[in-house]
Amino acid sequence: MEEERSTQRPERRPTVMTLEEVARYLRINKSTLYRMARDGTLPAWKLGNAWRFKKESIERWIAHTQRAQQQKVRRRA
């Protein structure tokens, strides 16, 4: 039975981050992040009175934002 567990893949759960953790991760002010979450600029949801963010969603948002900015720069050139 122990051998069976070791060969199984570990369960992959999304990493849920707090507003403070995401602010540190993105290196932005918490009030800026709060505004972005409230306005829907960043993917987030409220759990009670606290904002929560999926790390995977934040990483996708970063990649999407970077691609959009690169396309904008190419159009100007």
- Find where tokens 């707090």 sit: 18
Residue 5: how many other CB atoms lie within 10 Å: 8
Q: Kindly give, in sequence order, each residue whose CB lies less than 8 Å from that of residue 41, ignoring residues fewer than 6 positions away.
A: 35
Tell me: the pLDDT tens digits for 2-61?
555 556 666 677 799 999 999 999 999 999 999 999 999 999 999 999 999 999 999 999
CA distances from 46 to 5, 16, 32, 35, 64 (A): 35, 12, 16, 13, 23
Cα within 13 Å of Cα(17), Cβ side: 20
Q: Could you tell me the pTM of the whole model?
A: 0.75
Alpha helices in 1-77 (DSSP H): 2-7, 19-26, 30-39, 55-76
Q: What residues make up the domain containing 71?
A: 2-76
Output the pLDDT for position 76: 80
Could you tell me the CATH number of the domain that includes residue 46? 1.10.10
Going by pLDDT thresholds of 50, 70 and 90, the confidence category of residue 75 is: confident
Domains contained in the chain, number: 1
